C-alpha cells in the first residue's frame, strides 16, 4: 500500500472510536452536515441506491437509509467500518446498508453498480490529488442519470485568511494555496492534504462528468475548528448560518468558503 495511504488509514483507525462525540459536540459541524443532507435529498431520487466514499462512522449512511435509500458505505479505515457495522446491527438496518473497507483505488473492485449517486462528505477527497482512475471508476458505478456529489475543502477560505491575519500568522493564512499540499498531524500520523478551487476540482473529473451546481459550505460561517467563536458569539454566528443558507448556491459566494459542495452529472 502507498505510504501516504497507509498513514491515512492508521490515522482514521485511531480516531474511529471517538469520532462521533467530536462531531456531536461541534454545532458548526452539525449545521454543515444538515446543509449537505439537504443537497443530497435535492439530487438523489426517493428509494435510490447510493455508493458512499469515505463514509466515516456512517452518520450520512444511516440518515439516507432512514429515508428508505440503500447505501453501500465504504471507507479506507477498517475501524470506521466496524463502527458502522455496529450501528447497522443496533438500528436493524442490515437490509439498507452494506459497509465494507475500500480505499479510493479499490472502488472498481466493488461488484455492485447502477447507483443513483456517489457521495463523499467532509473532505475525504482532499487526501489525494490524482483523480483520473477514481473519476472513471465512479462513472462506471453510476446509472445513466447518476450524480456525483462531493464535499471538498476549498482553497480559498476567507475566515481562515482573516483569522490568521489577525494573529500575524501569514504562513498559515495562505497555507491552503500550497500546490504541493499541506502536512497535517492527525493523531500522531503525518498525512498530506490538498486544497482545491471548485472549478479546478471539477476539471479533474471532466472526462466522465459535467459540473451541474456548486455550493459554498461556510462562507460567512467560521470553520468548525473555530468553534470558540460560535460559543462566544452564538447569535451572530447563527445569523451567519442563515445568510449562508440563503446564498450558498449563488456566485461569487459559491466559489469560496471552508468547504464547497459540487454536484456533477454523468456524461
Pairwise CA distance, residues 52 & 60, whole Å: 9
DSSP state of 121: -
| pTM beyond 0.85, yes or no | yes
Quick one: which of 243, 72, 59 has its CA closest to 151?
59
What is the pLDDT at residue 104? Answer: 97
Q: 196 φ, ψ to 5°?
A: -135, 150
Contact by Cβ (8 Å): 55, 61: yes
Q: Which residues of the chain have pLDDT under 70?
A: 1-4, 187-188
Which domains does the chain possess?
3-156+195-266 (3.40.50.150)
**Cα 6 off chain centre by:** 20
Q: 63 φ, ψ to 5°?
A: -60, -50
What is the pLDDT at residue 115? Answer: 98
What is the pLDDT at residue 185? Answer: 76
DSSP E strand boundaries for the chain = 49-53, 70-75, 97-101, 115-120, 142-153, 182-186, 189-193, 209-217, 259-266
Partners of 185 in the beta sheet? 190
Quick one: which of 147, 189, 225, 264 has its CA closest to 6?
189
Sign, CA torsion 173/131/267/116: negative
pLDDT digits (tens, 9 = 90+) for 27-57: 999 999 999 999 999 999 999 999 999 999 9
Pairwise CA distance, residues 248 & 242, whole Å: 10
Amino acid at each position: 500500500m502507498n505510504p501516504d495511504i497507509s498513514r491515512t488509514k492508521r490515522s482514521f483507525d485511531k480516531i474511529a472510536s471517538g469520532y462521533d462525540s467530536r462531531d456531536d459536540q461541534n454545532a458548526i459541524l452539525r449545521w454543515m452536515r444538515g446543509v449537505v443532507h439537504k443537497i443530497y435529498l435535492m439530487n438523489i431520487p426517493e428509494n435510490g441506491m447510493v455508493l458512499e466514499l469515505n463514509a466515516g462512522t456512517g452518520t450520512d449512511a444511516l440518515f439516507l437509509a432512514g429515508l428508505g435509500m440503500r447505501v453501500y458505505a465504504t471507507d479506507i479505515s477498517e475501524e470506521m467500518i466496524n463502527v458502522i457495522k455496529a450501528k447497522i446491527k443496533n438500528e436493524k438496518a442490515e437490509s439498507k446498508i452494506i459497509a465494507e473497507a475500500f480505499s479510493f483505488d479499490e472502488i472498481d473492485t466493488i461488484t455492485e453498480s447502477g447507483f443513483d449517486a456517489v457521495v463523499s462528505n467532509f473532505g475525504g477527497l482532499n487526501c489525494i490529488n490524482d483523480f483520473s482512475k477514481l473519476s472513471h471508476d465512479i462513472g462506471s458505478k453510476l446509472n445513466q442519470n447518476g450524480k456525483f456529489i462531493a464535499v471538498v475543502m476549498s482553497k480559498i477560505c476567507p475566515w481562515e485568511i482573516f483569522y490568521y491575519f489577525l494573529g500575524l500568522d501569514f504562513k498559515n493564512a495562505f497555507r491552503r494555496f500550497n500546490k504541493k499540499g499541506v502536512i497535517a498531524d492527525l493523531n500522531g500520523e503525518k498525512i498530506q492534504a490538498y486544497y482545491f478551487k471548485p472549478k479546478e476540482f471539477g476539471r479533474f473529473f471532466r472526462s466522465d462528468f459535467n459540473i451541474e451546481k456548486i455550493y459554498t459550505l461556510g462562507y460567512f460561517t467560521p470553520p468548525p475548528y473555530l468553534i470558540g467563536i460560535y460559543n462566544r458569539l452564538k447569535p451572530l454566528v447563527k445569523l451567519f448560518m442563515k445568510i449562508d443558507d440563503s446564498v450558498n448556491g449563488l456566485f461569487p459566494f459559491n466559489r469560496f468558503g471552508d468547504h464547497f459542495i459540487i454536484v456533477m452529472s454523468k456524461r
